[in-house]
Amino acid sequence: MLSIRPCVPAAWVLSAPWRTESPAVRFFILFLLVVVLDQLTKLWVVHSFELYQSLVIIPGFFSLTYLTNTGAAFGMLAGHPVWWRQLFFVGVALIALVAIFFLHRKIAAENRWYTVSLALIAGGAVGNLIDRVRLGAVVDFLDFYVSTHHWPAFNLADSAITTGVGIFLLINFSQSRKEKHGKSV
């Protein structure tokens, strides 16, 4: 009789590293997951599409469109010299990453969601930094629009950064409300 055995032992899954209580390990796993998924999706787009090629997914609302962005968010700074942009973006990203790692060490114990938010931000920053260093531009491909009005295209790294910032702000808003209500009682 043929028996099918899982390729990963159940004991390992139950004791997997992502189930750890260590904020640093959880941070690193989520950080790495964001970077890998971001780079894999960008690699797929670069190899599957010609620059500016678009594939409509939801007509009138969403397409996959291969674009590159040499500037910052929404193309800001795109007109500046290449060497200046590279130096600026790499410098800002490295300073931000150092700040995120120190901030994580300081506040991770306060709330598990700080680990999630900061790992998403750091992973997104590294995903886009890899593009800037490797290609001189960031690969964008998520294209949302209504009729002919397009939101600037973005990628998974941008989504991770935005989601991480949103979670971070929600945590802080929630904690400030708790402190405010706790003091007034």
Residue 50 vs residues 46, 55, 90: alpha-carbon distances, Å: 7, 11, 27
Beta bridge partners of 142: 64, 154
Closest CA to 42 of 164, 159, 166, 167: 159
Measure CA 173 to chain center.
Answer: 22
Per DSSP, the three-state class of 122 is: helix
Q: Which of 38, 131, 143, 158 is catalytic?
A: 158
Does 131 qualify as catalytic in the annotation?
no
Q: Examine the residue annotation and report whether 158 is marked as an active-site residue of this protein.
A: yes
Are the CB atoms for 138 and 96 separated by under 8 Å?
no
Active-site residues: which are they?
140, 158
